[in-house]
Structure 1
């Protein structure tokens, strides 16, 4: 498994940072060659399934995730969303935490434990580097998009 994490502090209210990061279809707009769908449609909640399909034609794979923790932020508590990756190729989990940061800004913590089935541990370092780069850029773009 490949574990990585990163943090961002942005001049947004907590609820706006949360909204931008948990609008799942928007992830498809910022992750290359990816389309994101949500089942069931409607508000996100525990049990919602997020499906990210990445690639082209027969060279695509699905990252099927189910939300197991869904606690939007309040004035008193940080927000936390945990997604369990339950696909045939991508396994592990991801957590998005949004909390109060310095100067009233939102502090975003992204933690992820990622495993690609059938890929030997020899590839852990390049997978970690690539995943951290791709997800870091995606989060940056999501937080800048209105």
Structure 2
């Protein structure tokens, strides 16, 4: 089963600044809850580059490997999740607005346990929403 999750956040910062913070992969731990990311292949700034993100606490968590499939600064970056647990696609879009931008985070994920998705969806949406608020604060130059 493929599921879609879309969250968004208005950010009072220039789109180019937001995109720069968003795609500074080692800084993900500063805004994305419980997640550390790194570039594992390529330059991290072009299609074909590979990323690895660990979400969890200590050794409890999961590894999300990805390949960048689209790179259009400062508007969007898209990935294909290639891990054993997380499969599907994801995209961050930075949409200009008066006084800043809107950041949208969309995931199309293959969910192995369809029956659990109604319980997992609100938790994932909350996780993504809090992370985007922290991204906005970081892009504005404030701690999240």
Q: Would you call these one fold, judging by a TM-score over 0.5?
A: yes
Displacement of 1:62 in angstroms is: 0.8
Query: Given the alignment of the two structures, is residue 106 of structure 1 paired with residue 107 of structure 2, yes or no?
Result: no
Point out where structure 2 has 5 or more consecutive residues left out of the alignment.
none
Matches within 5 A, 1:18-29: 18-29=19-30
CA distance in 1, matches of 2:10, 2:32: 21
> How far apart in 1 are the matches of 2:32 and 2:17?
20
Aligned with residue 81 of structure 2, among 81, 85, 93: 85
Aligned residues: CA RMSD: 1.8
8 Å contact 1:20–1:143 — kept in the other structure? no
Unaligned 5+ runs, structure 1: 74-78
SS in structure 2 of the partner of residue 89 of structure 1: coil
Any idea what the Cα deviations from partners look like across 1:24-70, whole Å, max 9, x if unmatched? Answer: 2222233344321112364511111111112332x332111110000
Other-structure match for 2:123: 130
What are the superposed Cα offsets for residues 90-119 of structure 1, whole Å, 9 maximum, x if unpaired?
A: 111111111211x24212121111234xx4
- What TM-score do the two structures reach when normalised by structure 2? 0.84
Residue in structure 2 matching 1:94, options 76, 90, 94: 90
In the TM superposition, what is the alpha-carbon distance from 1:5 to its structure 2 partner? 0.7
Partners in 2 of 1:54 and 1:3 — Cα distance?
20
Q: Greater shift after overlay, 32-41 or 20-29? A: 32-41
Query: Counterparts of 2:54 and 2:9 in 1: how far apart (Å)?
Result: 26
Q: Are 2:29 and 2:36, in contact at CA under 8 Å, matched by a contact in 1? A: yes
Structure 1 length-normalised TM: 0.83
Q: Could you tell me which of 100, 113, 117 is aligned with 1:120? A: 113
Which runs of structure 1 show a deviation greater than 6 angstroms over 4 or more consecutive aligned residues? none
